[in-house]
A = this chain, B = another copy of it.
């Protein structure tokens, strides 16, 4: 069996690097890694992402971060500054457009051109590769907060080279989480390999004393993902990243809407990740967490959207997330205007401020039971993955998806089995309805089945795909659970 989860050698890295930088003309400008390192070293403390995350954790704060990106540089700078001032954001994003995510830089170029003509953004994000180093530097230098690249790119090597060189100090994504939910035909082995490159790049910055924060994408498809699945993926991506020299890791989780499940998920994520990382011999890392406000379909009505946003904000604090990713009242409709984006942030800010320091149910036995249940589930998935990989997480991950040991609900990738089906139980916990090939113990499956039977009974109907569909629509239609009328 090939060993895949090994640190990429310097030689190999720089060999590949030449190829990567050559894939688009703007790559040439970042040829010197040292210049990038110097720019990172020159970043003032308050613009360093890893430092902000670490301080938040130390002080027990929950930092606020929006998503935002538009086609043109000056508009993007204006947008970010607006979100910092009017939105009271603590951390800034640069969300990348969907062409760039697929390395379709020619289409991104067309999008830029058409946006210039239209005088408004026709792209759903900031095409950082096309704009290149100087424009990215302009972004980082024009704002006064740490900035992160947020995207969904299976091969994000060139994007990383350019943005990190420009001074972005955090980079979202991972070889699984930016493949399975975001693409159709990219083999996992390839995206994992390409993300090892990104992590190795971050590791090289690290060797020069620059800590770049890395954040695997927790929510996956954002749609009824049982916590154990996203935790398993996040922990594997964490292990892969640590191997390449990443030190500042933020693991994420997307809200399901049941408060207890969400709090339990955040607790178990922290505990499990710490455990798995140490068990594999990693010591020198800083683990923080991010909670994503509801990632599934939103209600169109903006007042209702505010309630969804507010619940996410509340649970972020109650679950002691170090960061919360904020949605907007425009979510169901389209990319938010800067005003709508700031409105989501301000609602979140108010909730976060009101609840900071509050404890609700921390000593609950029911909560602890859910924590233990999630942990047991994740262990089933991860132990089998480890086994499939003969101890190698990269090999194991690819094999696990191939066999359906890991299976992300509703994902577009052909490399995802798509046989596991989730559904909500009678209290709204997302449970396993059909496990597909996921290797849960009979006890775990019995627990899920028992909870789901309660719902069947309440609704007087049996479990079915109709119920799953009803649950997918539920929050957008004003409920948590998709019950029949």
A contact set with B: CB distance below 8 Å:
257-260, 263, 299, 301-304, 306-308, 310-311, 313-314, 342-351, 353-367, 426-428, 475, 478-481
A303, B347: Cβ atoms closer than 8 Å = yes
B353, A427: Cβ atoms closer than 8 Å = no
Question: In the complex, what residues of B have CB within 8 A of residue A310's CB?
Answer: 306-307, 310-311, 314, 347, 351
A260, B360: Cβ atoms closer than 8 Å = yes
- Indicate how many identical chains form the complex: 2
Partner of A426, one of B260, B347, B357, B479: B357
Q: How far is the CA of A303 from the CA of B344 in the complex (A)?
A: 7
Given contacts A346-B303, A349-B478, A479-B353, contact A358 B259 (CB under 8 A): yes
Q: CB-nearest residue of chain B relative to A342?
A: B303
- Min C-beta distance of A349 to chain B, whole Å: 7
Question: In the complex, what residues of B have CB within 8 A of residue A427's CB?
Answer: 357-359
Q: CB-nearest residue of chain B relative to A260?
A: B360
The 4 A-B residue pairs whose C-beta atoms are closest, nearest first, are A361-B361, A310-B310, A307-B350, A306-B306
Question: In the complex, what residues of B have CB within 8 A of residue A354's CB?
Answer: 257, 307-308, 311, 428, 475, 479-480
Q: How far is the CA of A143 from the CA of B426 in the complex (A)?
A: 34
- Min C-beta distance of A458 to chain B, whole Å: 9
Q: How far is the CA of A315 from the CA of B290 in the complex (A)?
A: 24
- Min C-beta distance of A451 to chain B, whole Å: 13
Q: A353-B480, A355-B480, A363-B366 are in contact. List 10 more A-B contacts (CB 8 A).
A: A303-B346, A307-B347, A307-B348, A308-B354, A310-B347, A357-B426, A360-B361, A361-B361, A361-B362, A362-B366
Q: How far is the CA of A478 from the CA of B148 in the complex (A)?
A: 26
Q: CB-nearest residue of chain B relative to A477?
A: B353
Question: In the complex, what residues of B have CB within 8 A of residue A263's CB?
Answer: 360
A359, B353: Cβ atoms closer than 8 Å = no
Given contacts A362-B364, A363-B364, A480-B355, contact A303 B343 (CB under 8 A): yes
Question: In the complex, what residues of B have CB within 8 A of residue A479's CB?
Answer: 353-354
B303, A306: Cβ atoms closer than 8 Å = yes
Q: How far is the CA of A366 from the CA of B302 in the complex (A)?
A: 36
Q: How far is the CA of A367 from the CA of B355 in the complex (A)?
A: 16
Partner of A313, one of B307, B358, B367, B480: B307
A353, B306: Cβ atoms closer than 8 Å = no
Given contacts A363-B365, A364-B364, contact A350 B260 (CB under 8 A): no
Partner of A357, one of B311, B348, B428: B428
Given contacts A310-B311, A359-B427, contact A350 B304 (CB under 8 A): yes
- Min C-beta distance of A263 to chain B, whole Å: 8
Question: In the complex, what residues of B have CB within 8 A of residue A355's CB?
Answer: 259, 311, 480
B307, A351: Cβ atoms closer than 8 Å = yes
Q: How far is the CA of A311 from the CA of B308 in the complex (A)?
A: 11
Partner of A428, one of B342, B343, B358, B365: B358
Q: List 26 A-B contacts (CB under 8 A).
A: A258-B358, A259-B355, A259-B360, A260-B358, A301-B346, A302-B343, A303-B306, A303-B342, A304-B349, A307-B348, A307-B349, A307-B350, A310-B314, A311-B314, A311-B351, A311-B355, A314-B314, A354-B480, A356-B480, A357-B426, A357-B428, A357-B481, A358-B427, A361-B364, A361-B367, A363-B366
- Min C-beta distance of A49 to chain B, whole Å: 25
